[in-house]
Amino acid sequence: MAENPRFSTFPLNRGKFGRFSRGKISAKTFIQWAASLHDAAELAYIREISWAKERSFPSHEYIILVFGDKFHPNVIYDTALRFERDTESWFKIFGSLCGSNYNDTVSKWSSAHDAQNSGDRIIAHIAVNRTDIDLRHIAILLEVVGKAADLYRVWSFNCWWYAGCLRRNLARTIGSKRCRFQIPPHKEGQIEKFTEFLAGSTAVDEWDAMTFFRFQAFSHLATIERASWDNTDLKEATKYIEAYFEIRVLGKFEGAFSQTEGLQKTPASAPPAAELAGALEPPDRGDIAASLRSSQTRTSAANSQTEDPFLQDVASLHDIEALAWRGPVLDGTYRIQNLFSGRLVCVPDIQHSTFLRTTPKLHRTTMLRIESCRDGGLTFSCLDSHQRIEANFLKVGDVIAGYNTAYEIPEISHFKTREIEETGIYTISPLFSTLFWGLSDGEEDTVVLQSDPHDSRNHWRFINISEWQDNKI
């Protein structure tokens, strides 16, 4: 087959130990390579997804993605990539309850057939009927999965689970109506038995991709419960990946998710989100929308009206600086402003878990209650939704989130602040971590953990509003 020009720079690891070690690179290297393509990455779109398993014991599963090229639509230019997770040592994994280092890899092949061993079985296949899901989406997904589950555990974060995460999130991005789903004739026996058990249900051949993959996820979780009594970590990591992947994708590509239509991008002609919110965006990113003091003098008539979710007043950065807190952060109600963007931290939703975002608008979701703890730490909670802010995964790039929980776990819900040379500028860290709250490298409205204490993206101001009338500012 002809060479797909998008893959001409694909890094090659010329292994010496057999056919399937040649051309295999780490997921991290793949992510870096995809980023190096810049705009050209969107020209290599996902044409097919195959979920495959080997005949060996323990059975190994992997995903094959076939990429087409927008400038060369003939299938002779297609390239196949095989994605899989393995462990560095099976002797270690069977002898340890803690798991071993994971080994997520990507290898390049001229076709999906070449990417398989002789005797491997295709469990399910998806033919994609759109050309806008491309290298950038799989790169984001690999990065999210790697951060959420960085150990290989034979009963949980294994190759089956890894393949499931990839196929499920990609299928959700594509949409059930934008693809053709097929299960080969030699379908898995338990799938067929399960379908027969569901009286009055449709045949397995009529399942759509998401229904099939949900069944597989439930089967995997049930196996984990029988083997280890507890699948909490696996469920939480799986939910985290789906939610964080959605946030990362929507941060990079404007739009929304639909189960049937997948990722629907906002048309270029649509008004910006700020206009849809009815807000007056100042041209300078350092400006904050709304005067901090003007709300104290609002008339009772204005207060009696339904509060607009985004207030319209405008204040300059100088006003914010004048009101910034200095010294040790005490118990009280605060707004927290990022020094780099001028935006305020907010908890934008009331779902069980809501990722911390930043906004240029004053709203009640930007009001945070801070309380001191006996261990010297501080807890942060949203005054509006009462969600407690936690950092579940203490690694660079992991999101900070608000949770509807009554339980305090100091390692993830207690934080510390440090003022930089009495300037009224602070860093915020989990109590037992050297990482800092900061802005995501990819999406400047998402709050994540970062490592550089000198970067202004990781610096914050506290505006104490505890004494202000009704906390309406």
Q: What pLDDT digit, counting tens, does each position of 12-45 carry?
A: 765 443 444 456 899 999 999 999 999 999 999 9
CA distance 414 to 440: 21
Q: Let me know: does 49 contact 157? Beta carbons within 8 Å.
A: no
Phi, psi (rounded to 5 degrees) for 289:
-80, 105
Six-digit token string for 353: 């878990």
Number of domains composing the chain: 2
Identify the residue whose tokens are 């939703």.
349
Residue range 312-331: mean pLDDT, rounded: 65
Model confidence at 305, pLDDT cuts 50, 70, 90, reads very low
Looking at the fold, whether 107 and 200 belong to one and the same domain comes out as yes
In one-letter notation, the amino acid at residue 251 is G
Q: In whole angstroms, how far apart are CA 73 and each of 4, 37, 44, 175?
A: 10, 19, 10, 22
Q: In whole angstroms, how far apart are CA 18 and each of 21, 53, 117?
A: 6, 19, 12
Instruction: For 111-136, write each residue's pLDDT tens digit.
Output: 999 999 888 999 889 999 999 999 99
pLDDT for 296: 33
Looking at the DSSP bridge assignments, the partners of residue 418 are 427
Looking at the fold, whether 58 and 155 belong to one and the same domain comes out as yes
Looking at the fold, whether 284 and 239 belong to one and the same domain comes out as no
Residue 217: Cβ within 10 Å count: 17
pLDDT for 218: 60
**Percent of the chain, pLDDT > 90?**
28
Looking at the fold, whether 253 and 314 belong to one and the same domain comes out as no
Six-digit token string for 430: 């989990």
Residue range 124-153: mean pLDDT, rounded: 86
In one-letter notation, the amino acid at residue 124 is A
DSSP 260: T
Six-digit token string for 375: 């261990």
Residue range 210-223: mean pLDDT, rounded: 61
Model confidence at 201, pLDDT cuts 50, 70, 90, reads low
Chain mean position to CA 433: 21
Give 458 or 394, the one with higher predicted confidence.
458
Helix H or strand E encompassing 332: strand 332-338
pLDDT for 72: 87
pLDDT for 348: 83
Tell me: pLDDT of 390 over 50: yes
Give 233 or 305, the one with higher predicted confidence.
233
CATH of the domain at 318: 2.80.10.50
Q: Let me know: does 407 contact 413? Beta carbons within 8 Å.
A: no
DSSP 325: -
Beta-carbon contacts of residue 218 (< 8 Å; ≥ 6 apart):
none
Looking at the fold, whether 301 and 160 belong to one and the same domain comes out as no
> For strand 100-109 and strand 151-152, is the pairing parallel, antiparallel, or unpaired?
antiparallel
Closest among 395, 402, 437 to 416, alpha carbons compared: 437
Q: Find the domain containing 164 and state its range.
A: 5-265
Tell me: pLDDT of 63 over 90: yes
Closest among 458, 453, 454 to 440, alpha carbons compared: 458
Looking at the fold, whether 257 and 292 belong to one and the same domain comes out as no
Closest among 444, 426, 339 to 378, alpha carbons compared: 426
DSSP string over 44-87: EEEEEEEEEE-SSSSPPEEEEEEEEESS--SGGG-EEEEEEEEE
**Percent of the chain, pLDDT > 70?**
66
Last residue of one domain, picked from the residues 232, 265, 298 = 265
pLDDT for 426: 95
Q: Lowest-pLDDT range, 79-93, 337-351, 402-416?
A: 79-93
Q: Let me know: does 324 contact 293? Beta carbons within 8 Å.
A: no
Model confidence at 295, pLDDT cuts 50, 70, 90, reads very low
Mean pLDDT for the chain overall: 75
Give 457 or 312, the one with higher predicted confidence.
457
Last residue of one domain, picked from the residues 265, 298, 333 = 265
Length of the chain: 473
Last residue of one domain, picked from the residues 265, 282, 300 = 265
Identify the residue whose tokens are 């069944």.
215
Tell me: pLDDT of 96 over 60: no
CA distance 324 to 303: 26
Looking at the fold, whether 73 and 181 belong to one and the same domain comes out as yes
CA distance 32 to 248: 16
CA distance 164 to 162: 5
Report CA dihedral (246, 250, 251, 255) to the nearest 10 degrees. Answer: -170
Looking at the fold, whether 257 and 288 belong to one and the same domain comes out as no
Looking at the fold, whether 197 and 302 belong to one and the same domain comes out as no
Closest among 416, 466, 443 to 343, alpha carbons compared: 443
Looking at the fold, whether 231 and 291 belong to one and the same domain comes out as no
Read off the pTM: 0.58
Tell me: pLDDT of 302 over 80: no
Looking at the fold, whether 261 and 120 belong to one and the same domain comes out as yes
Instruction: For 242-270, write each residue's pLDDT tens digit.
Output: 888 888 888 788 788 887 889 987 654 43
Tell me: pLDDT of 334 over 50: yes
Looking at the fold, whether 360 and 423 belong to one and the same domain comes out as yes
